[in-house]
Amino acid sequence: MKKIKLAIADDHKIFRNGLKATLEDCADFDLVLEASNGRQLLGMLVSVVPDVILMDIKMPEMDGIQTTAFVKQHYKNIKILALSMFNEDKYIVDMMKAGASGYLLKNAEPEEIIEAISTVYDKDYYFNEHLSVTLIKQLAGNNVHGAAATSLIDFNEREIEVLKLVCQEYSNQEIADKICLSVRTVEGYRARLFEKTRSKNLVGLVIFAVKTGIISV
């Protein structure tokens, strides 16, 4: 199995070392680059091109947003996973508009970091549950890269109806009441939607629905 080549760009050495320890425990990853700022990272990309970059937002000389924009312009196949201490929509939007494929807080558990890397490599995007549906609608309508759309031929009318309601943040009970189904039946529809769209959370469903025109931004 091909290992996922990784790069880390972060100006805090202690954090880099901790992250490296987490990544080295995973046999599927190969850490090929390590940089303390965006400018240093770009110099290294001339000779080594990773599959995924773990990118800090706040760095000296060249920050993560500037670096992400440059990388996506010149190395379109590299996936960028933003890592930050900031839990604010503004930073998420800025990084995503620059071309990042996902966003994680630095206090994420090792299991989530590993899952995020694998997901962003396989599916082109990863988002945690922090992101609001409204924010994802904005991102999906602008600059989320590579969110591939499954053909709507694979979905029946009832599934599309349930998907629309899920994206409006209706609960299973509310959906059941609204379209006269049992909660158990709605849960079944929801499970199939996750499977068919290959989504792990509500964020993935919303991106799919926006990209395919099921809902509008």
Over residues 107-135, the mean pLDDT reads: 81
Q: Sort strands 4-9 and 52-56 into parallel, antiparallel or unpaired.
A: parallel
CATH (domain of 89)? 3.40.50.2300
Q: Are 32 and 54 in contact (CB under 8 A)?
A: no
Answer with the residue of higher pLDDT: 69 or 122.
Answer: 69
DSSP for the chain, written as a single string: -PPEEEEEE-S-HHHHHHHHHHHHT-TTEEEEEEESSHHHHHHHHTT---SEEEEESS-SSS-HHHHHHHHHHH-TT-EEEEEES---HHHHHHHHHHT-SEEEETT--HHHHHHHHHHHHHHS-EE-TTS-HHHHHHHHTTT-TT-PPPPGGGS-HHHHHHHHHHHTT--HHHHHHHHT--HHHHHHHHHHHHHHHT-SSHHHHHHHHHHTTSS--
Look at the chain and report how many structural domains it folds into.
2
CATH (domain of 199)? 1.10.10.10
Q: Do the domain assignments include residue 217?
A: no
- Of the three residues 69, 101, 131, the one that is the final residue of a domain is 131
At residue 23, does pLDDT exceed 80? Answer: yes
- Of the three residues 70, 102, 131, the one that is the final residue of a domain is 131
Same domain membership, residue 89 and residue 184: no
Per-residue confidence at 152, pLDDT binned at 50, 70, 90?
A: confident
Comparing CA positions, the residue from 155, 167, 160 lying closest to residue 205 is 167
pLDDT of residue 146: 43
pLDDT of residue 139: 65
Same domain membership, residue 125 and residue 20: yes
Q: Give the chain's mean pLDDT.
A: 86
- Return d(Cα 175, Cα 98) in angstroms, integer: 36
**Of the spans 104-113, 127-136, 162-171, 183-192, which averages the highest pLDDT?**
183-192
Over residues 78-85, the mean pLDDT reads: 90
Beta pairing partners, 165: none
Same domain membership, residue 102 and residue 41: yes
pLDDT of residue 212: 81
Which residue range(s) make up the domain with 99?
4-131
Q: Which tokens is 133 given?
A: 């549906």
Q: What is the pLDDT of residues 166-197, one digit of tens each?
A: 888 788 899 999 999 999 999 999 999 988 88
Half-sphere exposure for 171 (CA within 13 Å, toward CB):
4
Same domain membership, residue 77 and residue 8: yes
At residue 11, does pLDDT exceed 80? Answer: yes
pLDDT of residue 134: 61
At residue 75, does pLDDT exceed 70? Answer: yes
